Homo-oligomer: A and B are copies of this chain.
Amino acid sequence: MSKKSNLPQPTDAELGILQILWKAGPSTVRFVNEQLNEQQEKEIGYTTTLKLMQIMTEKKLLSRNTDTRTHVYLAEAVQGDTQKALLKKFVDATFQGSATSLVMQALGNHETSQQELDEIKALIEKIEKG
């Protein structure tokens, strides 16, 4: 019996915020906003980030600690689960459900190091062994 999280899928902007929280752990709006503005060329206003994080908290993608004046936000959406769900949707829409087509396309742009190829080969072997 696995527990489904059943969270809504994040939008593009929301995913950007999740990436930061997944990487950095619990953070303030100020920090997340700064990270976003480092990653991107386009400047994003502080209240924009705040609003998004408030919406995400409502959707349960995040939770927050409001003990101090400066709230600290935590990602509730699990990275792996979120990626998995987004991947499924993407494979369905773009590759008509064929994960293999996607893998071929992804590897086809041969910018994959030998070490990464080895990892993939190892995984394939593991799958083949059952």
Q: Chain A residues in contact with chain B, CB under 8 A?
A: 12, 15-16, 19, 80, 83-84, 86-88, 90-91, 93-96, 99-112, 114, 116-117, 119-121, 123-124, 127-128
Contacts and interface: CB of A to CB of B under 8 A. Distances in A.
B87 A105 contact: yes
B103 A103 contact: yes
Given A83-B95, A99-B106, A99-B112, 11 more contacts: A15-B94, A80-B105, A87-B102, A100-B116, A103-B107, A104-B119, A107-B127, A108-B123, A112-B127, A117-B128, A120-B124
A106 B94 contact: no
The oligomer's copy count stands at 2
Nearest to A109: B84
A61 to B, nearest CB: 15
Given A117-B128, A127-B117, A102 B106 contact: yes
A78 B89 CA distance: 21
A105 B84 contact: yes
Given A102-B87, A104-B123, A109-B84, A93 B16 contact: yes
A20 to B, nearest CB: 11
A121 B123 contact: no
